[in-house]
């Protein structure tokens, strides 16, 4: 601070000499009683004019109510705000003043007090909201006629958080040549960061008095803003002249239309009642907030009548004579000085004027006048408004005490605290005239900020062409890119609230290289059957998965010879009693049988993977780096037993020939393989649920969020499922595939006891009948047996039995090498 003050000392001395020609207007007052208040305003501005009129009315009201004859000596800056400090210093050096009130920043006011020194200590009241954080110094008699600027920053942050915008751009006009106003940027950035919002960029407009070509400067700055991602612009600080030029140029450049959001802070919004209708028309859809003050009290109504009459008389060129909070603060500042001076003269000489001012406690026109840390201590209430037509709609109120509310009377009650912001604010009409909340991000690929379409990479060598197929039409000399992934992306783009211009570029390389190219922003995105993995996520951003996937096993499906058709009529006749038995049993135990039929069929368990590992079986995969990593690191297969398969047809050949025992693929790919070769391949074993397929974007890309929201929308309304059925289904193989992938006939196991009982009873009955027959025909039986033994029949039966036994053992050996066949034969 001392460095700034010292640097400015020589400048001020030169300024005093420069304006010394005005000294003839200044007359020294008697030293016995000081009754003059110095004023520094810029009567070239609407705010300065309102402040001047309000000060004059305040002096008149003081005399009318107390008889205290005060006068004001006002220095007009005439459009040169940089002269505010030098003008105030000049006033204090050439007149005996009670205090100085005016359009000085806190830094300028502090500079004046520092230059005056203790010998000529004059309180300085600043009417301009402090942009930089105020650091009160008791040695400087500087008072701020406003609340802490952080309240405004928190209000902005609350509005942005409510509408769920993620990035904003701040704009302000640099008003002072003695200091910069970057303090407000720091405050805003900190407040936004708490809400998880990024301040993408800030733009500083020089004071218009320093510009030789205002139109060109404003257009250049707006072009810079239009090149950014954020479409949410917060106008923190601006003169009415710059505000007018800014919005007119923004409208001319198409920045007051669809997708754009403009928020004006208190300093601009509070002037809406004072603006010409033509200016308000150029601000359609702007949302802003202004300091709330009561307009129903008797003192305000009396002041408003006087203000309008006097303002119209002195500034007939102004269209509106309505007052604003700036006039009320100027009025309250004069009243504060007058009350403090009266107390100093009549009651308490032990305190200085500055101490009496800081002890003020009364209701002013702008609110409660109490000071803490050299600024107003009352927590402000801001009124949220939406500019529509030639005026504005009142949406509600916000305060750091109670947040959003639609009632100031009950804002402290628990009932009102439960009201959501949506219920308070209601619909907002945005610059495009609609109530649909803009996304607040650039319409990527559109607009003048980016004439080049997005470059979207697609894998040119995808193994599964149903997802992405790149072909070239020789007749038309065009590259055709089709597939399920492409269809999904096109459907998603149609759901966006803005048009997306893009070119799909075939990428000849691995999927890993394609992801790396996107992370390096060689491409703006990648579309294809890209697996979402943690390692990739560290480089880029994925969209929401548009198809779920897991790692599955594909094996050869062999025919099961254990099922015989009943051809012989004798066999059918023999089984007829058994079927009758089953019918009786199922009729009796319907509930038990139903539960058995509804039980899910058994699936191969992890023991299948264990068998493949333990036998060093060769397995195949499609070259996906993540699949290879998962097979080696998670499923513990040896690297020498993992073979990369080049194409979908090679999978079938390798499985059928026994070159590989099993193939590991992501489920969407496996379904395509099994569907194509539904007569010979089937999926088996457990599914290792991993992630899914997603679209790829560079980190920080706003398109990733928009695409993800559209994918969720298409998932919920069934469009993605419909696209999958249309693109990836194979109707001709659906039945066979279904049978191959898991349908199993119910074996005799559940009925084994019943069959044993029936078999045992039948056997006993048969033996009894045989023994009875043998008892009656024993002589004939012994004769037949003796004849057979003579012919060697017994030896033939022994040889036949031995051959059957050997065949049965061979069959058991083959079944042990094929688990699926063993289950079916059982």
- Burial degree of 650 (CB within 10 A; 0-12, 13-18, 19+): middle
pLDDT at 9: 39
CA angle 108/114/119 to nearest 5° reads 135
pLDDT at 171: 92
* CATH topology classification for 549-557+606-690: D-Maltodextrin-Binding Protein; domain 2 (3.40.190)
Tokens linked to 394:
């009142």
Place domain 450-548+692-732 in its CATH homologous superfamily: Periplasmic binding protein-like II (3.40.190.10)
- What pLDDT band is residue 328 in, cutting at 50, 70 and 90? very high
- Residue 693 near residue 724 (C-beta atoms within 8 A): no
pLDDT at 601: 45
> In 91-192, at which residue ranges do the beta strands (DSSP E only) sit?
99-102, 124-126, 142-144, 167-174
Whether the pLDDT of residue 507 is over 80: the answer is yes
Tokens linked to 207:
């004071």
Listing from the earlier edge strand, what are the strands of the sheet with 142-144? 71-76, 36-41, 99-102, 124-126, 142-144, 375-376, 371-372
* Low-confidence winner among 242-246, 280-284, 308-312, 586-590 (lowest mean pLDDT): 586-590
| Across 379-405, average pLDDT | 90
Whether the pLDDT of residue 596 is over 60: the answer is no
| Across 325-330, average pLDDT | 94
The model's pLDDT over 250-272, given as tens digits with 9 standing for 90+, comes to 999 989 988 899 999 998 999 88
Q: How far does the chain reach from its first CA to its final CA, in angstroms?
A: 93
- Residue 561 near residue 658 (C-beta atoms within 8 A): no
Distance CA 568, CA 578 (A): 16
Selection from 116, 124, 78, 94 nearest residue 25 by Cα: 94
Distance CA 701, CA 166 (A): 12
Selection from 550, 551, 552, 545 nearest residue 530 by Cα: 545
| Across 636-644, average pLDDT | 88
Q: What is the CB neighbour count within 10 angstroms for residue 174? A: 16
- Residue 325 near residue 270 (C-beta atoms within 8 A): yes
In percent, the amount of the chain with pLDDT more than 90 equals 20
pLDDT at 374: 86
Instruction: Return left, alpha or beta for 636; rule: phi > 0 is left, psi -120 to 50 is alpha, else beta.
Output: left
pLDDT at 572: 52
Distance CA 40, CA 235 (A): 25
The dihedral over CA atoms of 358, 360, 364, 366, expressed in degrees to the nearest 10, equals 20
Whether the pLDDT of residue 301 is over 90: the answer is yes
Whether the pLDDT of residue 179 is over 60: the answer is no
pLDDT at 615: 83
Where in the sequence of the chain do the CATH 3.40.190.10 domains occur? 450-548+692-732, 549-557+606-690
pLDDT at 284: 92
Please give the distance of CA 48 from its chain centroid, rounded to a whole number: 42
Sole residue written with tokens 């997306």:
500
- Residue 543 near residue 697 (C-beta atoms within 8 A): yes
Please give the distance of CA 543 from its chain centroid, rounded to a whole number: 12
Length of the chain: 826
What is the maximum alpha-carbon separation in the chain? 165
For the chain, the average pLDDT equals: 77
Question: Greater confidence, 186 or 356?
Answer: 356
Please provide residue 537's backbone torsions phi and psi, each rounded to the nearest 5 degrees: -65, -20
Q: Beta strand 368-369 with 362-363: parallel, antiparallel or unpaired?
A: antiparallel
- What pLDDT band is residue 558 in, cutting at 50, 70 and 90? low
Q: 459: Cβ–Cβ under 8 A, 6 or more apart, which residues?
A: 468, 470, 506, 507, 511, 514, 528, 529, 530
The model's pLDDT over 57-114, given as tens digits with 9 standing for 90+, comes to 999 999 998 888 888 888 888 877 777 778 888 887 777 888 899 888 777 777 777 7
Query: Coil, strand, or helix at residue 707?
Result: helix
The model's pLDDT over 428-456, given as tens digits with 9 standing for 90+, comes to 999 988 888 998 887 654 444 444 688 99
In percent, the amount of the chain with pLDDT more than 70 equals 72
Selection from 23, 16, 80, 93 nearest residue 48 by Cα: 80
Q: Which residues are bridge partners to 239 per DSSP?
A: none
What percent helix, strand, coil does the chain show, rounded to 5?
Answer: 50, 20, 35
- What pLDDT band is residue 625 in, cutting at 50, 70 and 90? confident
The model's pLDDT over 212-221, given as tens digits with 9 standing for 90+, comes to 788 888 888 8
Q: Beta strand 371-372 with 375-376: parallel, antiparallel or unpaired?
A: antiparallel
Question: Greater confidence, 493 or 534?
Answer: 493
Distance CA 168, CA 155 (A): 14
Question: Greater confidence, 579 or 604?
Answer: 579
Sole residue written with tokens 């992890």:
606
Whether the pLDDT of residue 605 is over 60: the answer is no
| Across 533-555, average pLDDT | 83
**DSSP string for residues in 274-308:** GS-HHHHHTTTT-EEEEE---S-SHHHHHHHHHHH
- Burial degree of 805 (CB within 10 A; 0-12, 13-18, 19+): exposed
Distance CA 372, CA 146 (A): 11
Q: What is the CB neighbour count within 10 angstroms for residue 2? A: 7
- Residue 141 near residue 121 (C-beta atoms within 8 A): yes
With helix as H, strand as E and coil as C, how does 788-800 read?
HHHCCHHHHHHHH
- Residue 364 near residue 331 (C-beta atoms within 8 A): yes
Distance CA 650, CA 642 (A): 15
Sole residue written with tokens 């809400």:
195
* DSSP-derived secondary structure letter, 733: G
pLDDT at 824: 43
Distance CA 508, CA 498 (A): 30
pLDDT at 763: 75
The model's pLDDT over 202-249, given as tens digits with 9 standing for 90+, comes to 888 877 767 778 888 888 889 888 888 899 999 998 888 889 899 999
Q: Does the predicted model carry a pTM greater than 0.75?
A: no
With helix as H, strand as E and coil as C, how does 547-612 read?
EEEEEEEEEECCCCCCCCCCCCHHHHHHHHHHHHHHHHHHHHCHHHHHHHHHCCCCCCCCHHHHHH
């Amino acid at each position: 601070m001392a460095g700034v003050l010292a640097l400015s000392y020589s400048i001020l001395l030169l300024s005093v000499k420069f304006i010394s020609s005005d000294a003839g207007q200044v007359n020294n007052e008697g030293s016995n009683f000081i009754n003059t208040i110095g004023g520094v305003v810029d009567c070239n501005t609407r705010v300065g004019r309102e402040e001047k009129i309000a000060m004059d009315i305040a002096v008149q009201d003081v005399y009318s109510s107390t008889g205290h004859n005060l006068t004001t000596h006002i220095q007009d800056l005439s459009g040169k705000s940089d002269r505010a400090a030098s003008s105030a210093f000049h006033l204090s050096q050439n007149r005996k003043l009670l205090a100085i009130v005016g359009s000085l920043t806190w830094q300028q006011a502090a500079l004046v007090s520092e230059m005056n020194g203790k010998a000529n200590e004059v309180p300085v009241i600043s009417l301009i909201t402090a942009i930089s954080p105020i650091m009160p110094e008791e040695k400087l008699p500087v008072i701020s006629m406003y609340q802490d600027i952080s309240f405004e920053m928190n209000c902005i942050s609350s509005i942005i958080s409510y509408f769920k915008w993620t990035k904003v751009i701040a704009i302000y006009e640099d008003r002072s040549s003695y200091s910069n106003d970057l303090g407000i940027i720091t405050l805003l950035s900190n407040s936004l960061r708490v809400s998880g919002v990024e301040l993408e960029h800030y733009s500083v407009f020089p004071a218009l008095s320093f510009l030789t070509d205002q139109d060109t400067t404003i257009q250049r700055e707006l072009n810079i803003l239009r090149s950014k991602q954020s479409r949410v612009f917060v106008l923190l600080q601006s003169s009415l002249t710059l505000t007018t030029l800014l919005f007119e140029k923004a409208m001319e450049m198409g920045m007051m239309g669809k997708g754009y959001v403009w928020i004006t802070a208190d300093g601009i919004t509070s002037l809406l009642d004072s603006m010409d209708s033509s200016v308000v028309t150029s601000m359609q859809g702007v949302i802003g907030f202004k300091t709330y003050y009561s307009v129903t009290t008797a003192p305000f109504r009396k002041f408003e009548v006087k203000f309008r009459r006097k303002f119209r008389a002195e500034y007939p060129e102004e269209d509106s004579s309505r007052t604003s909070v700036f006039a009320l603060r100027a009025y309250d500042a004069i009243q504060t000085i007058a009350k403090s001076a009266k107390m100093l003269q009549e009651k308490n000489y032990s305190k200085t004027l500055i101490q009496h001012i800081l002890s003020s406690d009364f209701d002013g026109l702008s609110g409660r006048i109490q000071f803490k840390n050299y600024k107003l201590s009352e927590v402000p209430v801001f009124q949220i408004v939406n500019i529509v037509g030639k005026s504005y709609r009142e949406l509600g109120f916000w305060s750091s005490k109670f947040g959003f509310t639609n009632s100031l009377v009950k804002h402290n009650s628990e009932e009102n605290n439960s009201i959501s912001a949506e219920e308070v604010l209601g619909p907002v009409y945005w610059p495009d005239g609609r109530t649909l909340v803009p996304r607040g991000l650039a319409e990527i690929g559109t607009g003048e900020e980016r004439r080049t379409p997005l470059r979207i990479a697609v894998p040119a060598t995808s193994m599964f062409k149903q997802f992405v197929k790149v072909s070239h039409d020789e007749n038309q000399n065009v590259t055709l890119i089709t597939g399920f992934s492409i269809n999904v992306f096109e459907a998603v783009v149609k759901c966006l609230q803005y048009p997306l211009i893009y070119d799909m570029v075939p990428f000849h390389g691995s999927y890993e290289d394609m992801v790396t190219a996107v992370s390096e922003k060689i491409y703006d995105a990648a579309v294809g059957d890209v697996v979402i993995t943690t390692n990739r996520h560290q480089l880029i951003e994925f969209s929401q998965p548009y198809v779920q996937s897991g790692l599955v096993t594909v094996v050869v499906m062999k025919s099961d010879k254990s099922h015989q058709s009943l051809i012989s009529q004798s066999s059918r006749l023999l089984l007829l009693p058994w079927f009758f038995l089953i019918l009786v049993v199922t009729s009796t135990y319907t509930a038990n049988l139903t539960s058995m039929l509804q039980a899910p069929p058994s699936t191969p368990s992890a023991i299948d993977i264990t068998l493949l590992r333990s036998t060093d079986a060769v397995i195949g995969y499609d070259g996906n780096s993540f699949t290879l990593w998962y097979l080696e690191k998670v499923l513990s297969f040896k690297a020498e037993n993992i073979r990369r398969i080049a194409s979908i047809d090679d999978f079938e050949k390798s499985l059928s020939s026994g070159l590989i025992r099993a193939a590991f693929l992501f489920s969407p790919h496996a379904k395509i393989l099994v569907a194509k070769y539904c007569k010979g391949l089937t999926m088996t074993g457990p599914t290792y649920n991993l992630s899914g397929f997603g679209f790829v974007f560079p980190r920080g890309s706003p398109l990733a969020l928009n695409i993800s929201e559209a994918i969720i929308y298409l998932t919920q309304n069934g469009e993605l499922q419909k696209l999958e059925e249309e693109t990836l289904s194979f109707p001709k193989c659906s039945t066979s595939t279904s049978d191959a992938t898991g349908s199993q006939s119910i074996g005799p196991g559940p009925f084994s006891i019943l069959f044993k009982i029936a078999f045992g009873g039948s056997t006993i009955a048969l033996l009894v009948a045989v023994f009875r027959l043998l008892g009656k025909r024993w002589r004939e039986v012994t004769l037949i047996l003796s004849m057979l033994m003579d012919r060697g029949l017994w030896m033939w039966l022994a040889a036949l039995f031995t051959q059957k036994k050997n065949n049965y053992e061979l069959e058991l050996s083959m079944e042990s090498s094929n688990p699926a066949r063993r289950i079916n034969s059982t």
